[in-house]
């Protein structure tokens, strides 16, 4: 006689932490917001009448939006632990494809599609050598940077392409109400990329590959194909960037334009919290960093800083952004102890606090041993007192940790019983 068994759905018993304001306020993304606000306050203090004049803020934002598609594409590249320094050359290559198609009498939508296809072809070229030939991404893309730019120079020579779709300049210069068209499109693309990274299987795959490509391979992930797709997406975004770029250039392009855009995109991504080692980063950090670079560039212009000096500033920002996570590791740990773990039953925090106190007491013992002004009995008493405090702290930490771990185990047991 068979028993009827009820199929109970499996439930996720993972304890998810709720929103914590203290943790949110010290997150790197919020630090970027503080920096952006600070730059705007500096602008207001320097030129209040200009800042609040009609159309000023829109013009500032429009000036920095031509790099935004490259930023979104570069997030994916950095996420898998690679880099693409040919992105700007691919953008100019795609611009050339559009211009030549328009000169040949093709419809505007066909010319735009050809730009994106040309960008994807360049990306596939990079991806093939990186993924399937095992070449380092930086070497490959430095080579293709010169290759793609060289092709454009051979085809165009000193000529300037000026026949582009009219909506290019609309994207580059016009507003939808109070909002620049380019900024609205940037936000729409950013939402798509956020969903791609945070909510899709493909995005989770990129994080896994970036953290450990070998484990990803053994887990059944086709790392080579995924890398090829990512480079093709980077190429497609370079094609999209050609629309923004040509629009800002007033509907014209030459072989010498767009130099250094790829480094700006990389700097923005790194400043936005995307790790160059791969496997770490989110979309909204680079989005905020894009606006930081936009307003910073305008501020430097008001200070009469020339274009070459601005590149120096960009390089310094890139170096600082890479160093900050390592330099501030101790500071961040202290802030977490002070604001996040305060009052929480957190075993890790308790151990960190206890270790800090024990370290201070050991330093007192070392100082007492070297203190010649103390008598032997006073020195012995001081050392003994400090040693007793250390033992008491360690015992209390061990006891409290055991209590909290037991409580956590009991909570987990009760949770499982509720779903039996």
Angle between helices 284-302 and 261-271 (to 10 degrees): 120
Residue 229 and residue 130 in one domain: yes
Residue 86 and residue 188 in one domain: yes
Report the percentage of the chain scoring pLDDT > 70: 86
Report the percentage of the chain scoring pLDDT > 90: 49
Per-residue model confidence as pLDDT tens digits over 84-122? 999 999 999 999 999 999 999 999 999 999 999 999 999
Residue 237 and residue 312 in one domain: yes
pLDDT over threshold 50, residue 8: no
Categorize the per-residue pLDDT at 335 as very low, low, confident or very high, splitting at 50, 70 and 90. low
User: Which residues touch 196 (CB under 8 Å, ≥6 apart)?
Assistant: 202, 203
Categorize the per-residue pLDDT at 366 as very low, low, confident or very high, splitting at 50, 70 and 90. confident
Residue 251: its pLDDT value, please? 84
Residue 333: its pLDDT value, please? 59
Tokens representing residue 304 in the block? 């009469």
Categorize the per-residue pLDDT at 332 as very low, low, confident or very high, splitting at 50, 70 and 90. low
Residue of higher predicted confidence among 363 and 409: 363
Residue 239 and residue 356 in one domain: no
pLDDT over threshold 80, residue 420: no
Structural domain includes residue 22: no
> Residue range 68-74: average pLDDT?
97
Residue 228 and residue 357 in one domain: no
Structural domain includes residue 228: yes
Structural domain includes residue 233: yes
Residue 187: its pLDDT value, please? 97
Residue 2: its pLDDT value, please? 44
- The CATH number for 114's domain is 1.10.3470
Categorize the per-residue pLDDT at 334 as very low, low, confident or very high, splitting at 50, 70 and 90. low
pLDDT over threshold 80, residue 224: yes
Residue of higher predicted confidence among 320 and 255: 255
pLDDT over threshold 60, residue 310: yes
- Domain limit, last residue, from 279, 300, 327: 327
Residue 329: its pLDDT value, please? 57
Per-residue model confidence as pLDDT tens digits over 371-394? 888 888 888 888 888 899 999 988
Residue 46 and residue 130 in one domain: yes
- Domain limit, last residue, from 297, 312, 327: 327
Structural domain includes residue 86: yes
Structural domain includes residue 94: yes
- Domain limit, last residue, from 305, 327, 349: 327
pTM as predicted? 0.74
SS (H, E, C) the chain: CCCCCCCCCCCCCCCCCCCCHHHHHCCHHHHHHHHHHHHHHHHHHHCHHHHCCCCHHHHHHHHHHHHHHHHHHHHHHHHCCCCCCCHHHHHHHHHHHHHHHHHCCCCHHHHHHHHHHHHHHHHHHHHHHHHHCCCCHHHHHHHHHHHHHHHHHHHHCCCCECCCCCHHHHHHHCEECCEEHHHHHHHHHHHHHHHHHHCCHHHHHHHHHHHCHHHHHHCCCCHHHHHHHHHHHHHHHHHHHHHHHHHHCCCCECCCCCCCHHHHHHHHHHHCCCCCCCCCCCCHHHHHHHHHHHHHHHHHHHCCCCHHHHHHHHHHHHHHHHHHHHHCHHHHHHHHHHHHCCCCCCHHHHHHHHHHHHHHHHHHHHHHHHCCCCCHHHHHHHHHHHHHHHHHHHHHHHHHHHHHHHHHHHHHHHHHHHCC
Residue 212 and residue 68 in one domain: yes
> Residue range 335-361: average pLDDT?
70
Residue 314 and residue 338 in one domain: no
> Residue range 239-264: average pLDDT?
90
Residue 190 and residue 79 in one domain: yes
Residue 408 and residue 317 in one domain: no
pLDDT over threshold 50, residue 5: no
Structural domain includes residue 9: no
Structural domain includes residue 195: yes
Residue 266: its pLDDT value, please? 92
Which domain range does residue 370 map to?
Answer: 334-418
Count of domains for the chain: 2
Residues facing 179 on adjacent strands? 176
Q: Is 399 left (phi over 0), alpha (psi -120 to 50) or beta?
A: alpha
pLDDT over threshold 80, residue 19: no
pLDDT over threshold 60, residue 11: no
Burial class (CB in 10 A: 0-12, 13-18, 19+), 205: buried
Structural domain includes residue 8: no
Per-residue model confidence as pLDDT tens digits over 182-210? 999 999 999 999 999 999 999 999 999 99
Q: Look over the chain and give the mean of its residue pLDDT values, rounded to a whole number.
A: 85
Per-residue model confidence as pLDDT tens digits over 146-177? 999 999 999 988 788 899 999 999 999 999 98
């Amino acid at each position: 006689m068979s028993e009827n068994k009820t199929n109970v759905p499996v439930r996720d018993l993972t304890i998810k932490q709720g929103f914590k304001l203290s943790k949110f306020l010290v997150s790197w993304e919020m630090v970027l917001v503080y920096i952006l606000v600070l730059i705007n306050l500096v602008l207001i203090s320097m030129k209040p009448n200009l800042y609040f004049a009609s159309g000023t803020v829109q013009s500032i934002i429009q000036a920095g939006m031509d790099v935004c598609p490259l930023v979104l594409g570069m997030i994916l590249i950095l996420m898998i632990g690679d880099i693409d320094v040919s992105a700007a050359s691919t953008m100019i290559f795609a611009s050339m494809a559009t211009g030549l198609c328009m000169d040949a009498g093709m419809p505007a939508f066909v010319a735009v599609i050809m730009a994106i296809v040309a960008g994807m072809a360049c990306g596939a070229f990079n991806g093939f050598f990186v993924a399937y030939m095992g070449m380092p991404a930086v070497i490959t893309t430095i080579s293709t940077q010169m290759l793609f730019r060289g092709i454009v120079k051979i085809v165009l020579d000193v000529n300037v392409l000026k026949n582009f779709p009219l909506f290019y300049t609309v994207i580059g210069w016009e507003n939808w109400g109070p909002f620049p068209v380019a900024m609205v499109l940037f936000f729409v693309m950013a939402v798509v990329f956020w969903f791609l990274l945070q909510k899709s299987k493909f995005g989770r795959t990129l994080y896994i590959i970036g953290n450990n490509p070998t484990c990803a391979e053994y887990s059944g992930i086709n790392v080579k194909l995924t890398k090829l797709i990512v480079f093709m997406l980077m190429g497609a975004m370079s094609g999209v960037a050609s629309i923004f770029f040509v629009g800002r250039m007033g509907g014209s392009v030459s072989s010498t334009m767009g130099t250094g855009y790829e480094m700006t995109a990389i700097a923005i991504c790194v400043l936005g919290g995307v790790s160059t080692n791969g496997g770490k980063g989110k979309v909204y950090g680079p989005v905020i960093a894009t606006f930081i670079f936009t307003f910073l560039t305008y501020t430097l212009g008001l200070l009469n800083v020339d274009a070459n000096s601005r590149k120096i500033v960009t390089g310094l920002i890139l170096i600082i952004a890479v160093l900050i996570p390592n330099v501030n590791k101790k500071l961040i740990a202290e802030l977490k102890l002070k604001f996040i773990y305060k009052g929480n039953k957190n075993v890790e925090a308790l151990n960190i606090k206890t270790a800090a106190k024990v370290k201070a007491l050991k330093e007192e013992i070392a100082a007492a041993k070297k203190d010649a002004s103390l008598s032997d009995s006073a020195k012995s008493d001081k050392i003994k007192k400090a040693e007793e405090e250390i033992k008491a702290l360690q015992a209390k930490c061990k006891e409290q940790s055991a209590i909290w771990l037991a409580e956590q185990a009991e909570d987990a047991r009760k949770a499982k019983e509720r779903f039996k």
